[in-house]
């Protein structure tokens, strides 16, 4: 919020003085030091001299503008106001009327107060300051980043990079050399399925005969009309693939971005809100559309040239059908976002092929159009059922945020109960007992309607044991979607085994019991992690090895609890980048990347008590026999290593 307040103070400059900004920059050489005042208080001082020709704006101005700010990631630190040991001078300013600025040496000070007994040995932070030239230039600056040593502070105890661990040269060669994403074929088929569902919505389905007739009747030569329709279908496919290009660019910029998408609390809350909007749009309460200007512009160009015109026709279809295709495609992309950019592209490709294929096929075989069902009320039923599914997915994203922050809002049984209520609502809608939006009650029971009623009724009945504290509550068919079994409303959940959560404790215990350490990099919002725990770890051959032969430690990369002050450090990675470690999740994410070259979950690693890699990593492995074989291989490597001592 502090950053927001500073930006709001500069807002009118951005709005009214954009022509005054220049691309020139100045380099400020800051020096920072800390002086202990008491056991929990320190005086920070910052000194610099502005480069010739530049003004450094003083922290205190006559206006409400915030020009200077001191920031720390630890919110428990109380920061006093920044004071001026050297007085600035007041100058005429076209921006303020008058401004307090420095063009000579500067000394600023601030008092910090820490919670008693929680002073770290090294304090990372940022100083935000503002400089410029009048009347033409004004700059919100890049932060000055510092790491101050605090006398009397507790020394850092955080170990990140473990030199003895060489995951690329383990004792045994078993395991995965690279992360194995979910099956690309499976993701493609999921995208294909989503595209076919989108075809059955009122926004797209009626367009098939209209568009095919346009291509086949517009040209006198049938082959030309068929070729145009095929090209039209290809452009639909291409448009959806092109939508994923920004993710490839973002992935190269920040390798942790896809993991952050799945674990970030704010993003999950945003997804929750978006999917609620999608749901009520499908219910028919309002129509979700892109700005009409986009459609009008694309439509106006659909008549220029053959290839260009067909391309803009495809764009027009994508825009006008967004109210139906957007939520389905958004669901698909959100579901595989943590896997990386290529799974996103593969899923979007499947979606685009499913949307574009019918236009090409029916253009080649126009008589087949007579065999497809006519548009009618069943399309509305498809949209409403999809709305309920979007509602269920919205609850999943809210549960992700709740799991990470441990708010206790959507514990496992509450989550399952809500999904069961949604399943019941679908049944009641399809039987005509309730009405959603403008859709009227249905009284005509066709075979397909009865089958769908039975399908969703079966799902609802299957979910009911999930609200109980019994062995039947495992719900393995949907494992990964509900919260973990230990995140329960019951005091002693039947299916819960509490894991060890600290790496250093695990290593000490491994030395004491002379067992290898099995590291489980996991996350509260990780679907595949829950699937492994509920479907693979519970198999007898896996459960015996994990409980009897290994010290298991689960490291949650999305844990938002603050580290003790002595463990909050500014860490320099092996690539040379600096990163503030403030939360437990920050620590384990960096620990995983620095030692095991991965940022995704689940990742499993076996090391010896003296911290040597016994096998290569293992990632998501739904085959219990394969996972058990990897565990045995790591155990055999440990026995081999012991004989060498």
Indicate whether 370 pLDDT > 70: no
pLDDT band at 632 (very low <50, low <70, confident <90, very high): very high
Rounded mean pLDDT, 140-155: 74
Tokens of 151: 């006398």
Of the listed ranges 24-28, 158-162, 472-476, 553-557, the least confidently predicted one is 24-28
| Nearest one of 351, 366, 352, 343 to 234, comparing CA atoms | 352
pLDDT of residue 271: 79
User: What pLDDT was estimated at residue 65?
Assistant: 72
pLDDT digits (tens, 9 = 90+) for 481-513: 888 888 888 887 877 777 788 899 999 999 999
- Tokens describing residue 455: 């399908």
Angle of helix 207-218 relative to helix 222-242, nearest 10 degrees, comes to 140
In angstroms, the CA 329 to CA 621 distance is: 27
517 forms beta bridges with 551, 607
Contacts for 296-305: CB closer than 8 Å, 24+ residues apart = none
**Mean confidence (pLDDT) of the chain:** 78
List CB contacts of 422: < 8 A, sequence separation 6 or more.
388, 391, 392, 395
- What pLDDT, on the 0 to 100 scale, is given for residue 257? 57
- DSSP classification of residue 533: I
The first and second tokens of residue 291, run together, are 């700005």
3-state secondary structure of 526: coil
**C-alpha separations of 400 from 418, 419, 537 in Å:** 15, 15, 22
DSSP track, 207-253 = HHHHHHHHHHHH-SSHHHHHHHHHHHHHHHHHHHHHTTHHHHHHHHH
- Per DSSP, the three-state class of 398 is helix
Distance CA 268, CA 246 (A): 20
Residue 208, C-beta contacts closer than 8 angstroms, at least 6 positions apart: 199, 358, 359, 362, 369, 372
**Whole-number pLDDT of residue 206:** 63
pLDDT single digits (tens) 244-266 = 777 766 555 455 555 566 667 88
Token pair for 146: 């510092």
Q: Give the per-residue pLDDT at 321.
A: 63
By mean pLDDT, which of 16-25, 176-185, 321-330 is the weakest?
A: 16-25
CATH number of the structural domain 2-149: 2.60.40.1250
Q: What is the mean pLDDT of residues 108-117?
A: 87
User: How confident is the model over 326-347, as pLDDT tens digits?
Assistant: 656 666 665 555 566 777 788 8
Query: What mean pLDDT is predicted for residues 606-625?
Result: 91
Please list, in sequence order, all residues whose beta carbon lies within 8 angstroms of the beta carbon of residue 614, skipping any fewer than 6 positions away: 170, 171, 172, 516, 606, 607, 608, 634, 637, 638, 641
User: Which of these ranges, 93-102, 124-133, 291-300, has the smallest mean pLDDT?
Assistant: 291-300
Range 565-570 average pLDDT: 74
Q: Who's near 517: CB < 8 A, 6+ residues apart?
A: 506, 507, 510, 550, 551, 553, 606, 607, 608, 609
Between 15 and 151, the more confident residue is: 151
3-class SS of residue 71: strand
- Give the tens place of pLDDT for each residue, 513-554: 999 999 999 988 887 888 888 889 989 999 999 999 999 999
Average pLDDT of the segment spanning 158-170: 88
Residues in the chain: 645
What is the pLDDT at residue 503? 92
Sketch the domain layout of the chain as residue ranges. Answer: 2-149, 200-374, 503-644
113 within 8 A of 38, measured Cβ to Cβ: no
| CATH number assigned to the domain with residue range 503-644, chosen from the 4 options 3.40.50.10860, 3.40.30.10, 3.40.50.720, 3.40.640.10 | 3.40.30.10
- The token pair at 503 is 């790496």
More confident residue, 278 or 610: 610
Separation CA 260–CA 267 (nearest Å): 9
> Is the pLDDT higher at 471 or at 107?
107
The pLDDT assigned to 513 comes to: 93
* Residue 173: other Cβ atoms inside 10 A: 11
Alpha helix segments (H runs only) across 431-502: 447-463
């Amino acid at each position: 919020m502090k950053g927001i307040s500073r930006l709001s103070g500069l807002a009118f400059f951005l709005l009214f003085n954009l022509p005054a900004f220049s691309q020139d920059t100045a380099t400020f050489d800051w020096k920072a030091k800390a002086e202990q005042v008491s056991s929990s208080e320190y005086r920070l001082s910052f000194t610099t001299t502005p480069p010739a020709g530049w003004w450094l704006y003083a922290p205190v101005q006559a206006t409400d503008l915030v020009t200077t700010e001191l920031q720390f990631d630890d919110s428990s630190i109380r920061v006093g106001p920044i004071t001026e040991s050297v007085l600035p001078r007041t100058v005429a300013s076209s921006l303020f009327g008058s401004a307090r600025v420095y063009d000579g040496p500067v000394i600023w000070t601030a008092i910090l107060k820490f919670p008693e007994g929680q002073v770290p040995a090294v304090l990372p932070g940022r100083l935000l300051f503002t400089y410029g030239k009048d009347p033409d230039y004004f700059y919100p600056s890049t932060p000055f980043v510092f790491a101050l040593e605090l006398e009397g502070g507790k020394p850092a105890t955080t170990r990140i990079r473990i030199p003895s661990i060489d995951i690329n040269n383990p004792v045994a060669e078993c395991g995965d050399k690279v992360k194995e994403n979910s099956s690309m074929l499976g993701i493609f088929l999921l995208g294909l399925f989503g595209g076919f569902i989108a075809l059955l919505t009122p926004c797209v389905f009626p367009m098939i005969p209209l568009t095919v007739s346009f291509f086949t009747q517009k040209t006198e030569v049938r082959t030309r009309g068929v070729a145009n329709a095929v090209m039209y279908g290809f452009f639909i496919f291409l448009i959806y693939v092109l939508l994923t290009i920004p993710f490839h660019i973002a992935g190269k910029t920040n390798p942790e971005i896809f993991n952050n998408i799945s674990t970030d609390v704010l993003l999950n809350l945003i997804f929750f809100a978006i999917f609620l909007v999608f749901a009520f749009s499908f219910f028919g309460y309002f129509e979700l559309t892109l700005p009409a200007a986009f459609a009008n512009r694309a439509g106006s160009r659909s008549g220029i040239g053959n290839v260009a015109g067909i391309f803009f026709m495809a764009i027009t279809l994508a825009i006008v059908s967004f109210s139906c295709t957007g939520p389905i495609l958004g669901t698909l992309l959100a579901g595989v976002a943590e896997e990386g950019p290529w799974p996103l592209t593969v899923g979007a490709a499947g979606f685009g092929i499913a949307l574009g294929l019918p236009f090409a096929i029916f253009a080649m075989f126009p008589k087949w159009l007579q065999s497809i069902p006519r548009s009618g009320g069943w399309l509305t039923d498809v949209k409403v059922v999809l709305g309920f599914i979007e509602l269920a997915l919205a609850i999943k994203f809210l549960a992700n945020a709740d799991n990470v922050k441990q708010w206790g809002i959507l514990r496992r049984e509450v989550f399952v109960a809500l999904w069961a209520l949604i399943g019941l609502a679908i049944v009641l809608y399809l039987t005509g007992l309730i009405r959603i939006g403008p859709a009227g009650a249905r009284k005509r029971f066709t075979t397909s309607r009865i089958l769908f009623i039975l399908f969703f009724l079966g799902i609802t009945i299957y979910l009911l044991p999930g609200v109980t504290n019994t062995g039947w509550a495992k719900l393995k068919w949907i494992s990964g979607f509900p919260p973990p079994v230990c995140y329960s409303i019951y005091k002693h959940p039947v299916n819960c085994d509490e894991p060890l959560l600290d790496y250093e404790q695990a290593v000490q215990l491994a030395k004491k019991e002379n067992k290898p350490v099995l590291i489980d990099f996991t996350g509260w919002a990780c679907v595949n992690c829950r699937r492994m725990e509920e479907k693979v770890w519970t198999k007898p051959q896996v459960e015996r090895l994990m409980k009897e032969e290994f010290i298991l430690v689960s490291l949650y990369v999305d844990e938002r609890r603050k580290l003790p002050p002595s463990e909050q450090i500014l860490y320099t990675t092996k690539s040379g980048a600096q990163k503030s470690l403030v939360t437990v999740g920050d620590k384990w994410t960096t620990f995983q990347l620095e030692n095991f070259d991965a940022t995704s979950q689940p990742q499993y690693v076996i090391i010896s008590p003296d911290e040597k890699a016994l096998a290569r990593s293992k990632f998501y492995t739904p085959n219990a026999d394969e996972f058990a074989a990897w565990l045995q291989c790591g155990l055999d490597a440990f026995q081999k290593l012991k004989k060498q001592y």
